[in-house]
Amino acid sequence: MKTISENASFQGKQGVYSHASTSCHCDMTFALFLPEEAERGPVPLLWFLSGLTCTHENAMTKAGAQAWAAEHGIAVVFPDTSPRGEDVANDEAYDLGQGAGFYVNATQDPWQPNFQMWSYIADELPALLAENFALDMDRQAICGHSMGGHGALTLAMNLDGRFKSVSAFAPIANPSDSDWGRKQLTAYLGADTATWAKHDATLLMADKGFDGPVLIDQGADDQFLDLLKPEALAAAIAKRRQNAIFRMHPGYDHSYFFISTFMEDHIAFHADALYAD
């Protein structure tokens, strides 16, 4: 692991690091905020998964997470959204290829050799973090935006017992029934829609739900609302009677202005779950 940068932030430390990934077969970069408490012992960890076109840097610099994470003594990791490099497959469209990993393990060419983002987020990066930083890996929560909201919800519902809580900003909620989903899941996983089910938050909510609290925030003026399909996820939450809060915010769009407005709420929500024991 290489240190790219480390900066003091809210009495803690904001770092950026890179490493050779065995899952994605390329160098991967991630950012990690450690609160001051990490100097004295392991702290809880919140994952923030970003959306289409983003790197580790977008949420790190725009979401305003560090101030609230420092207040609650929580670390926040910001992974990249895909493998990258000259030898990594890509596409001319912004919503496929580099910057658009969709948090799945690709089984189709040309994506299969590198696009193993599920394994990277679920297995490889947690092990690397546990080995190198003062983190309490028994107290984890997960959050994400758009494509990252899709990833956060699907990882939380599939990895039983891993996360104490899950939240999302404007998640791609029903990709099996959306142009933000069908295209990418077909490219990465193939045309058999049965293989898509574990990567669809609405289908997972209907099938099994999440053993913990859920928070979803959605802007009512989101320019991508028809692609996100929040109403499908809301209906599945209601039918399951899931322990969840679903909020629709008039006037807010899909941007980091929206995310930063409600980031304090999300970190406080996760802090309640992470410190419940």
- Catalytic-residue membership of 222: yes
> CA dist 17 to 30, 31, 57, 79, 268, Å?
6, 6, 11, 10, 26
CA distance 67 to 238: 33
Options 146, 165, 167, 178, the catalytic residue: 146
Options 72, 222, 266, 270, the catalytic residue: 222
SS3 105: strand
Task: State the Cα angle at 263 between 155 and 177, rounded to 5°.
Answer: 40
Q: What beta strand segments (E) does 108-266 contain?
A: 135-145, 166-169, 214-219, 244-249
Q: Please report, as a single letter, which amino acid is at residue 201.
A: A
Residues belonging to the chain: 277
> CA dist 138 to 25, 145, 249, 250, 251, Å?
28, 24, 33, 37, 38
The residue among 149, 215, 163 whose CA lies nearest residue 45 is 163
Cβ atoms of residues 228 and 171 within 8 Å: yes
Options 72, 145, 199, 254, the catalytic residue: 254
- Catalytic-residue membership of 249: no
Cβ atoms of residues 91 and 97 within 8 Å: yes
Which residues are known catalytic residues? 146, 222, 254
